[in-house]
A and B are shown apart, each in its own frame.
With several copies, the nearest count.
Chain A
Amino acid sequence: MNSFSIKIGGEAGQGLVSVGNILLQAISQEGWYLFSHRDYESRIRGGHNFTQFRLADEPVHTLEEAVDVLVALDKATIDRHRQELKEDGVVIYDPSVQGETIDEPGFVAVPFVEVAQDQGQPKVMANAAAAGAIWSLLGDDLERVNGIFAAMFSRKGEDIVEGNKKVAQAGFDRVRDALGHRDMPPKPANAGPQYLIAGNPALASGALAAGVKFMSAYPMTPSTGVTEFIAANGRRCSVIMEQAEDEIAAMNMVVGASYAGARAMTATSGGGFSLMTEAIGMAASAEVPVVVIDAQRPGPSTGLPTRTEQGDLLYGFGTASGDFPKAILAPGDVQEAFYLMGHAFNLADKYQMPVIVMSDQHLADSYETTIPLDMDKVIVDRGEIVSGDEAGPDYKRFALTESGVSPRLVPGSGPALTVAAGDEHDEEGHLVESAEARRAMMDKRMAKMKGVAEEALPPVLVGDDEPELVLISWGSTKGALFETVDKLQEKGQKVKGVHIKQVYPFSQDLEAVLQGPGKKVVVESNYVGQLEKLLGMEFAWKPDGCVRRYDGRPLNPDYILRELEGGGHLG
């Protein structure tokens, strides 16, 4: 792969997001593949944030640590990130913010505000100066960027569009004059139509495509993007998003709505998930399908609210008191985010149980270009539902069946009645105390896990069939994992990559991989090795080594390769 990385750093509220949006659009429209991640603090203004873009001639799903261009809207960007610069790297900075002019090769001073004002434009157009300056490295002219200005600002009037264009041109010229033309990765031919989308909208769209009719949530980073996306499309997609007073209410509203017959979901993170676990257990007992997105962030507790981690797997595995059927899915990229939501709803409906979708800040907030999401591929399977007209007076909500699944009745759909309880109950749903009835109902509920396990999604495998090294990971680490495999293969190593997108129950296909050839290394974003522990539990197995990251930043191939080379973690 041939790629090029740009990092733009600045304070919150300085316009980072605007410059970022322009670049996201421009780069992807220009035809490159793109991956971009935001790194931001838990505050609204100030601090030090950055966005990193990586464009490439091949599909790209992770960042690299070194950057080709550093754009400094604040002083901290250069102080903290200059050592990440590649040889020949370029730094575009604002000398007025930096407090000095830096006379080093590759450093170009662009006083963004001044540039805007020189063009007779207001200060806020400093953003356009930055965008133009950056674009001088990527393109030969500003046509692409100007088109974006037109689309973005036409509602605000022609003056604004033209002002932005002028300022961008001035920024462009400054850098072009200083550095001349730069070679960029080739633009892929025949890439075909692409989407530009981040994890949160992909999850939300997946839910809408699956026919979610009700969502309730309480805002919590990094899940809020899902919530607001659903809310924004309430009218368009006939879905209610009701902001709850707390996560307990959110989850219980969802269970109530699903009991009543609507596909229903929530999204939360860490502490919010804690508050939902009681109702998740209740849904399992009353056999009410629910889908819960847990967008992980570093814990314990409030931890680092805007950072990433894969630290809730063991918690999700335990979920709540007692034994009950459930499944946990962990999308690795926006494609999986979209399609696994549909799968989650189908599993939930088919087995009348909770399904947890584990996202994280890295997935939630990273944009990537990807082939179009196809809603015709989303199949809606509501499982066994019986109407109140068909059911007849002897209908029993929890009729004992071999599969463990009993046809569900939508209340009000006809004369038959449906009774459900979180207490232990008999086939009709009324409370029981006897040992026999308890055993029968446990057997029935847990029988569902047979079906769930049989259709567990297999791991995604890449690389060699007879590997010397097998790298195993889950969820949003997928992109970093697979690129690491590529890089090691390029160096001539025999490597296999194993991406696990269903983390509970595991596909039995994993057994062959774990017992197969090659040293096994589990790669994940947490301290204790949560996937490793679960694999150990299921397969009585221990890996040969591990790569773990727990500083709140996403894994990437450079980090993984360094750890593998360090070898310290190879047991």
Chain B
Amino acid sequence: MADKLFQTTPRETAWCPGCGNFGILNALSDALEELSLEPHDVLFVSGIGQAGKTPHYIKGNVFNTLHGRTLPAATGAKLVNPELTVFAIGGDGDGYAEGGNHLLHAMRKNVNITYLVHDNQVFGLTKGQASPRSDQGFVTGTTPQGVSLESFSPLATAITLNAGFVARSFSGNKSHLVETIQAAVNHEGFSIVDILQPCVTFNKINTFQWYRSRVYDLKDDENYDPSNRTAAWEKAQQWGDRIPIGVFYKVDRATLDEAHPASANGPLVKQGVEYDGVKEILDGFAVNG
């Protein structure tokens, strides 16, 4: 068998055996393999956390940036080079706690990137504190009485902000995840995929088994229509005994790069100084006495 283009590297991962991140890494690799992209067409921007290490284990360009700042870094890169296929990758803490403001506004901007959130409902790397996705009552070192806050719903929020592509998948369902990632990449505009990712070390509640027995595919409901925003928003509230996965909502909107006339002549990374433009500006300062 020929080597996969987007092979996962032989580099030893920093993940615990059995971690849900492995499933995501493999699905990502498979998804890209079929998208007729080459590794150098792809940029993975990631945050800090166990999830943020993912790009180090797959082929592609990598920018492993700060905790919580994947989205603005990815946005900057995409705006100056729309030819890159840009992923933002991070944990639920990264994206919904530290990075919450960027999430809101990335969705408004509708920049054409794919955002993968490894959602283990906990801060993994810092050893198990509550994340915005932790269920109420979850006991951790920072919440000894159990989490009192309502869990954050990234999908309902994304639908409210009219994000272009809003989906959930599950690390334990590879074919679903591969398909969802591909659909997300193929969507023109901001795509968010919240991926249920069991943390076998710090989340003893939301385990593989817990998720597996609960998830069901939205596709199973023939009547589900991802263009119906209100229905999608209501569906996104569902959590508990039954957890839907799949594409909740999809809408086509103008993307941010289209809004900037500067890119009209191709990617900005390929443009030099606009000599004539600057000259004109400078001439404007002349005292024409």
Contacts and interface: CB of A to CB of B under 8 A. Distances in A.
Q: Do chains A and B touch in the complex (CB under 8 A)?
A: yes
Interface of A: 13, 25, 28-31, 41-47, 193-197, 201, 205, 208-211, 213-214, 216-221, 224, 227-228, 231-246, 248-262, 264, 271, 278-279, 282, 286, 301-302, 305, 369, 372-373, 375, 380, 388, 410-423, 429-431
Chain A CB count within 10 A is highest, among B125, B263, B265, B274, for B274
B11 A430 contact: yes
A253 B64 contact: no
B287 A302 contact: no
A193 B285 contact: no
B65 interface: yes
Nearest to B46: A421
Contact of A260 (B62, B68, B80): B80
Contacts of A249: 69, 71-72, 75, 101-102, 105
B126 A224 contact: yes
A246 B98 contact: yes
A146 to B, nearest CB: 14
A259 B66 contact: no
B66 A282 contact: yes
B41 A44 contact: no
29 contacts: A31-B289, A45-B16, A193-B287, A216-B72, A231-B143, A237-B277, A238-B262, A240-B260, A240-B268, A245-B97, A245-B104, A246-B100, A249-B75, A251-B72, A253-B76, A255-B65, A256-B63, A257-B79, A260-B78, A262-B269, A264-B80, A282-B65, A375-B278, A411-B84, A412-B61, A417-B39, A418-B61, A421-B65, A430-B56
Contact of B144 (A25, A193, A231, A262): A231
Contact of B84 (A253, A260, A278): A260
A196 B175 CA distance: 53
Minimum-distance CB pairs A-B, first 6: A256-B76, A256-B73, A253-B76, A257-B76, A252-B72, A45-B16
A45 B15 contact: yes
B77 A256 contact: yes
B220 interface: no
A238 B265 contact: yes
Contacts of A248: 69, 72, 101-102
B277 to A, nearest CB: 4
B105 A245 contact: yes
Given A228-B141, A286-B65, A301-B66, A28 B287 contact: yes
Contacts of B145: 234
Given A209-B273, A260-B81, A373-B282, A255 B76 contact: yes
B211 to A, nearest CB: 20
B281 interface: yes
A246 B280 CA distance: 32
Nearest to A380: B273
A197 B263 CA distance: 29
A29 B287 contact: yes
B201 interface: yes
Given A195-B282, A219-B127, 14 more contacts: A41-B14, A196-B287, A231-B143, A238-B265, A238-B268, A242-B260, A249-B71, A253-B72, A271-B67, A301-B66, A412-B84, A417-B59, A421-B56, A423-B48
A413 B269 CA distance: 10
A420 B68 CA distance: 17
Contacts of B76: 214, 216, 252-260, 264
Contacts of B98: 218, 245-246
B125 A42 contact: yes
